[in-house]
Amino acid sequence: MEALRGQVQELHSIVGELDEHQLAAASACQGWSVSDVLLHLSQTNELAATSARGQLAAGEWAPADRQVRTDIDDIAGGAVERDRGATGTAVRARWLNSADDMIAALEACGPATRVQWVAGGMAARTLATTRIAETWIHTGDVCAGLGVEQPRSDRIWHIARLVHRTLPYAFLRAGRHAEGKVCFEVTSPTHETVVWRFGDGDAETVIRGSALDLCRVAGQRATPTDTSLKGAGPDADSVLALMRTFA
């Protein structure tokens, strides 16, 4: 929980003193203001807290017309659109309260406890990591909208590990099969001489580059060709195209 708490604190350090005009500024999420990003995080934090308490049913976070709108981005966008109306400062307070409540709920839940989430069941510790990933991604969206640089932190180690561990899900979701094992060898965002390795050293496919670029590509905030990422092996192109941090 320390990394999740740290990521929340990072975002709070950026938005905590913003006025209404600044909270209404456009973020890097198309059609969303900074306040909208905080609203989305509030909604998903509240969902995660409900999940950690064992009160979330499968498929609960979906609109009534989910047989038509099944894309997660559509669902998220619809939820924000339906819940707009509060002031930016009120949304910020809701977000901070939701983050505190989520962390408390996850801390009270055993890390190996199975909980429900958008993509199905997972361990509570995995849910916590997905919350780090989403908060980090949207912190970048807020920073880009405000024209400030996002702080660099080694807590994205957790995100890079999540990306590697969820590769089988990413391939399955795309209807593909990996030909062999995959290894990531990526550099820390704070110490470029430090290499993080995820996977076996004898893997058939190896992805190398910066961990920051890896997480940005997996979060769909960059394309592989515009980053330092390089792949070698039979599944390299597929990994770079399919890896993700979310359902």
CATH of the domain at 166: 3.30.1050.10
Measured CA to CA, the distance from residue 34 to residue 15 in angstroms comes to: 9
Q: Which residues contact 95 (CB under 8 A, 6 or more apart)?
A: 38, 39, 41, 42, 45
pLDDT band at 65 (very low <50, low <70, confident <90, very high): very low
According to the model, what pLDDT value does residue 60 have? 56
Which runs of E-coded beta strand occur in the chain? 114-117, 120-123, 182-187, 195-198, 205-210, 230-232
136 is a domain residue: no
According to the model, what pLDDT value does residue 121 have? 85
User: Does residue 247 carry a pLDDT above 80?
Assistant: no
Q: Are residues 6 and 107 in the same domain?
A: yes
141 is a domain residue: no
Higher pLDDT, 58 or 100: 100
User: Does residue 69 carry a pLDDT above 80?
Assistant: no
CB distance 229 to 240 below 8 Å: yes
For the segment 4-55, what is each residue's pLDDT rounded down to a tens digit?
999 999 999 999 999 999 999 999 999 999 999 999 999 999 999 999 998 8
According to the model, what pLDDT value does residue 79 have? 75
Higher pLDDT, 73 or 234: 234
Complete DSSP assignment for 174-198? TT---SS-EEEEEE-SS-TT-EEEE
Q: Are residues 102 and 162 in the same domain?
A: no
Q: Are residues 89 and 174 in the same domain?
A: no
Q: Are residues 10 and 108 in the same domain?
A: yes
Q: Are residues 175 and 102 in the same domain?
A: no
User: Does residue 199 carry a pLDDT above 70?
Assistant: yes
247 is a domain residue: no
User: Does residue 68 carry a pLDDT above 50?
Assistant: no
According to the model, what pLDDT value does residue 58 have? 58
CB distance 7 to 132 below 8 Å: yes
Range of the domain at 238: 156-242
Sign of the dihedral through C-alpha 223, 229, 230, 231: negative
Q: Are residues 107 and 7 in the same domain?
A: yes
Q: Are residues 160 and 76 in the same domain?
A: no
User: Does residue 66 carry a pLDDT above 60?
Assistant: no
Higher pLDDT, 192 or 139: 139
For the segment 87-109, what is each residue's pLDDT rounded down to a tens digit?
999 999 999 999 999 999 999 98
Q: Which residues contact 5 (CB under 8 A, 6 or more apart)?
A: 103
Q: From 78, 96, 131, give the residue that closes a domain.
A: 131
Which amino acid appears at position 192 of this protein? E
- Two tokens, residue 155: 């807590």
In the chain, how many domains are there? 2
Q: Are residues 179 and 233 in the same domain?
A: yes
For the segment 168-195, what is each residue's pLDDT rounded down to a tens digit?
989 998 999 999 999 999 999 999 899 9
84 is a domain residue: yes
Record the pTM: 0.90
